[in-house]
Structure 1
Amino acid sequence: MKTKIKRIIPGIFFCLAFNLSQAQQSNDTQKCRYTKTNYGYLMVLREGDNVLSQIENLAKEQKIPSANFTGIGFAQDATFGFYDFGEKKFHPKTFNKVEMGSITGSIAWSENKSSIHMHGVATDDKFDAYGGHILALKVGTGSMEIYITVNDEKLERKIEQPLNANVLQLPCLK
């Protein structure tokens, strides 16, 4: 009988450890990414999260008519774009392992899809700063906090010529 128990106990411990590991992984993937506040939402994103996608998903899920946002945090990859008005396109440059000292932007809509316009300033380990229009942003080690202030009115963006720029459209006051 003791021999059987000695053989079974390691198997039981393995099963318990495996199930605990699976539960921990499940909890990590199901962590809450945002919560409602009096002014809108607070997002806390974690390593590997795509910031633009997370904001787009929030806007869609919560049917946000329009909003502005600010944020701070660590970035694994931050791709900035400088818009060349002559070529009518962005010239991208990616920075790795930077701290986002400031993120600011707005949420509007374009053809029934959320349209995010984001700018920011990133600093590296030498305290050199880079900034401008953000084309892509992925959270690095640590987290990123984004505070979203919701507006009542739905706002749209439309491509305007001759610049081929996606411009926020304002309703005229009467």
Structure 2
Amino acid sequence: MKATTLTDGPPEQHVLVFETGDEVVTGLTDWAAGNDLPGSSFTAIGAFSEATLGYYDLDEQEYAEIPVDGQVEVLTLAGDITLDGEGGWKVHGHVVCGRRDGSTVGGHLLRAVVRPTLEVVVTAGAAHLRRRHDPASGLALIDPAAKAG
């Protein structure tokens, strides 16, 4: 993955270009940690050679996996990057993938391998966002009142 800063802000904007074989969630997470990224949002387009998407089953409080085998276009990928409740980084993205026949599949991005490229624009805010565990849903939700410590 290659990265460059577009604007120093506020807000800061960065472009990340993933290459064939790069894994997206790990790459975004590692990049955010290495740059001490404040609360950020991102959008992306490109293509995957394979992916695993998820549909959150609220009753079971877990993701049902949706395997996406073979080449797909990333029609849209959008999400946020925040601090999790334990000081690590959490990438939360939703994606719609287009297949060769024009059909689509979408869901929560759990894992994806790029082929040939994925172009990501990250917009970084001025302050960190934190997630807190929500017992009712089982999810780590953004807590706007939480401050980075």
Q: Above 0.5 in TM-score?
A: yes
Q: Distance in 2 between the 1:37 and 1:171 partners?
A: 29
1:119 aligns with 2:91: no
Q: Name which one, 1 or 2, has greater alpha-carbon Rg.
A: 1
Q: Which residue of 2 is the match for residue 74 of structure 1?
A: 47
Q: Which has the higher strand share?
A: 2
Q: Distance in 1 between the 2:35 and 2:62 partners?
A: 31
Q: Aligned-pair RMSD on alpha carbons?
A: 1.2
Unaligned stretches of 5+ in structure 2? none
TM-score (ref. length: structure 1): 0.77
Q: Quick one: which amino acid aligns to residue 78 of structure 1?
A: A
Q: Distance in 2 between the 1:76 and 1:157 partners?
A: 31
Question: For each residue in 1:27-60, what CA deviation from the matched residue of structure 2 results, as whole angstroms up to 9, or x when unmatched?
Answer: xxxxx61111113210000011011111111111
Residues 91-170 of structure 1 aligned to structure 2 (within 5 Å): 91-96=64-69, 97-110=71-84, 111-140=86-115, 142-170=116-144
What is the Cα deviation at residue 112 of structure 1?
1.2
What is the Cα deviation at residue 90 of structure 1?
0.5
Q: Distance in 2 between the 1:162 and 1:62 partners?
A: 33
Segments of 4+ in structure 1 off by > 4 A?
A: none
What is the Cα deviation at residue 171 of structure 1?
2.0
1:35 aligns with 2:9: no
Number of residues of Structure 1 aligned to a counterpart in Structure 2: 140
Q: Distance in 1 between the 2:33 and 2:53 partners?
A: 24
TM-score (ref. length: structure 2): 0.90
Which secondary structure does the structure 2 equivalent of 1:108 belong to? strand
**Larger RCO of the pair (alpha carbons < 8 Å, separation 6+):** 2
Q: Which has the higher helix share?
A: 1
